[in-house]
Amino acid sequence: MEVQFDQLRIAFDSDSLFALNCALALVMFGIALDIRVAGFRSLLKSPRALCGGVACQFFLLPLLTFLLVLWLQPQPSFALGMILVAACPGGNVSNFMTHLAGGNTELSVSLTAIATLMAVVMTPLNLAFWGGQYAPAGQILQQVHINPTEMVQLVGFLLALPLLAGMGLRRLRPGLARSLARYFRGGSLLFFIVLVGIAVWKDRSVLAQALGLVFGMVLLHNLLALATGFLTGKALGLRRADIRTLTLETGIQNSGLGLLLIFTFFGGMGGMALVAACWGIWHLVSGLLLAGYWGSNPLKKQRTA
């Protein structure tokens, strides 16, 4: 089983990979259409929540994921998939879930934007560092021979450029940006999901064999991520609205970016792809359940101001 999944490759031709690149870039562009530069300025007056969110995303979650991997001792490709997901920035639906949960939406949007920009450097860095600390996963990294410069360039193209373009359009043409946002986010995200679904479907019989095992790891990993955001917010003494935001921002990861990096740099390694795909499904379920629960228990108005 171990050899089978570590050596399994999910086929993705160059045309499909290009379409996947474009879809993810459009998702990020759609997110950026809702981001206002003024939102950053207001948060800089009280940066504790912002710094806490960044620390959760790029320092605490990768570290705790590594410790979880040491405890579980999963197959190398599964371990590397978990580390890669933890190294990615927050997911694109966290802003909607934060709004549903009655959290600080402005903080959520700003954290998504900052984490996305930082991911250009931090995602490759965290993947290389923490992946190398777990010897079995480190062997995969050595075999793949990833060029850090190429990964930084790809992540920058997929995340930073669309984000800056969307924010620029929002600043110059706010009315047009609001109109486009409704179509870009939903349409491009659906297109992205369909492409990944087609790729995974080709190897469904083999991937189904490990689904139960992978789902258990993903459930534990996602619970760890949510708890990291929640407990960090508590430790910092943040308002309850901000704690809800940090919880969801840390628990909702951009697994779509993870999948794209797997297809581009790891040849569609089956174990890694299965972890990222399962995370992409489960974090929607867990995030919506938690956001729905919190949304049914609204905070006092002055606590969310």
pLDDT in tens, 250-282: 999 988 788 888 877 887 777 888 888 888 888
Q: What are phi and psi of 147, to 5 degrees?
A: -85, 110
Cα–Cα distance between 239 and 104 in angstroms, integer?
9
- How is residue 297 written in tokens? 């228990």
pLDDT band for position 303 (cuts 50, 70, 90): very low
pLDDT band for position 100 (cuts 50, 70, 90): confident
CB 12 within 8 A of CB 273: no
More confident site: 73 or 186: 73
Highest mean pLDDT among 114-128, 198-212, 227-241: 227-241
pLDDT at 26 over 60: yes
Q: Facing residues of 269 across strands? A: 9
What are the structural domains, with CATH classification, of the chain?
Answer: 2-295 (1.20.1530.20)
CB 97 within 8 A of CB 109: no
For 127-194, give the secondary structure using H, E and C.
HHHHHHHCHHHHHHHHHHCCCHHHHHHHHHHHHHHHHHHHHHHHHHCHHHHHHHHHHHHHHHHHHHHH
Give this prediction's pTM.
Answer: 0.82
